[in-house]
């Protein structure tokens, strides 16, 4: 609601520990006071911070792909459409490498009617970082071919995928930008898994 504050992941990552601690002091009591047993995040960065650094009492923190995978096991949602696309998936660092959530996003993609799921060479623990969480989105003047987001887009294109699926807003921004700068919009589209699920409902 309107009382919710930022989890503070970004300020913590750039070294603003005082501001991060202030955000935790404000946010933790509020989150614990609402009586929720489960909290769902759309960002792996928020997921990691709230799950591993807040010390929330009695609240299970889930990334939305974990919740969707649980719902799929119960036969929900019921898909009425099809997504006739070849799709590959990029593992976000804070979802995969940091929190070992690898299977749920793939299970969702494989459950969407019409999706032909293909893997890139570097996946799971070996996945390349998009550089968004490392602050590279604000860096200018580097050799574009050295940017990891550009390399990742090349890897996705090499699979023949039409869609590069992501589960992180940072990855979405970084990889979309890499696709546009390289002029690959006609060949490859970056989409959040939630968008693909919505397209099949």
For residues 79 and 62, state if they share a domain: no
**126 & 181 share domain:** yes
pLDDT of residue 142: 60
Determine the structural domain holding residue 62 and report its residue range: 9-66
- pLDDT tens digit sequence for 19-61: 989 899 989 998 999 889 999 999 999 999 999 999 899 999 9
Cα Dmax for the chain: 49
4 occurs within a structural domain:
no
178, part of any domain: yes
CA dist., res. 103 & res. 173, Å (int): 23
- Are residue 135 and residue 48 in the same domain, yes or no? no
Is residue 38 assigned to a domain? yes
- Whether 78 and 54 map to the same domain: the answer is no
Domain boundary among 66, 91, 109: 66
Q: Rounded CA gap, 19 and 10, in Å? A: 10
- Read off the CATH number of the domain in which 169 is found: 3.40.50
Task: Report if residue 1 sits inside a domain.
Answer: no
Residue finishing a domain among 17, 35, 66:
66
Tell whether 104 and 147 lie within a shared domain.
yes
Same domain as 134, residue 101: yes
Residue-wise pLDDT for 65-123, tens only, equals 999 999 999 998 889 999 999 999 999 999 999 999 999 999 999 999 999 999 999 99
Is the entire prediction scored with pTM above 0.85? Answer: yes
Residue 3 lies in a domain: no
Residue 87 and residue 31 share a domain? no
Same domain, 17 and 90: no
pLDDT at 165: 98
Q: How many domains does the chain have?
A: 2
Q: Could you tell me if residue 61 is inside a domain? A: yes
Give the count of beta carbons closer than 10 Å to the beta carbon of residue 106. Answer: 19
Over 70: is that where the pLDDT of 197 sits? yes
Are 60 and 122 in a shared domain? no
Contact predicate 9/49, CB 8 Å: yes
Contact 44, 10 (CB under 8 A): no
Q: Are residues 172 and 147 in the same domain?
A: yes
170 inside domain:
yes
Question: Does residue 2 lie within any of the structural domains?
Answer: no
55 and 133 together in one domain: no
DSSP letter string, 171-199: HHHHHHHHHHHTT-TTT-EEEEHHHHHHH
Q: Is residue 84 located within the same domain as residue 103?
A: yes
């Amino acid at each position: 609601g309107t009382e919710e504050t930022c989890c503070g992941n970004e300020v913590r990552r750039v070294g603003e520990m005082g501001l991060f601690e202030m955000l935790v002091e404000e946010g933790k009591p509020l989150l614990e006071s609402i009586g929720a047993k489960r909290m769902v995040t759309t960002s792996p960065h928020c997921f990691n911070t709230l799950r591993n650094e807040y010390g929330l009492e009695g609240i299970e923190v889930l990334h939305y792909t974990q919740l969707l995978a649980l719902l799929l096991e119960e036969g929900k949602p019921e898909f009425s459409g099809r997504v006739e696309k070849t799709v590959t998936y990029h593992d976000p660092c804070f979802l995969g490498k940091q929190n070992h959530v690898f299977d749920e996003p793939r299970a969702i993609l494989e459950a969407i009617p019409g999706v032909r799921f293909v893997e890139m060479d570097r996946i799971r623990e070996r996945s390349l970082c998009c550089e968004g969480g490392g602050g590279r989105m604000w860096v200018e003047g580097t050799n574009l071919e050295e940017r990891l987001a550009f390399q990742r887009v090349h890897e996705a294109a090499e699979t023949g995928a039409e869609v590069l699926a992501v589960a992180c807003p940072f990855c979405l921004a970084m990889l979309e930008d890499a696709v546009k700068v390289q002029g690959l919009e006609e060949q490859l589209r970056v989409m959040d898994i939630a968008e693909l699920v919505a397209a099949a409902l």
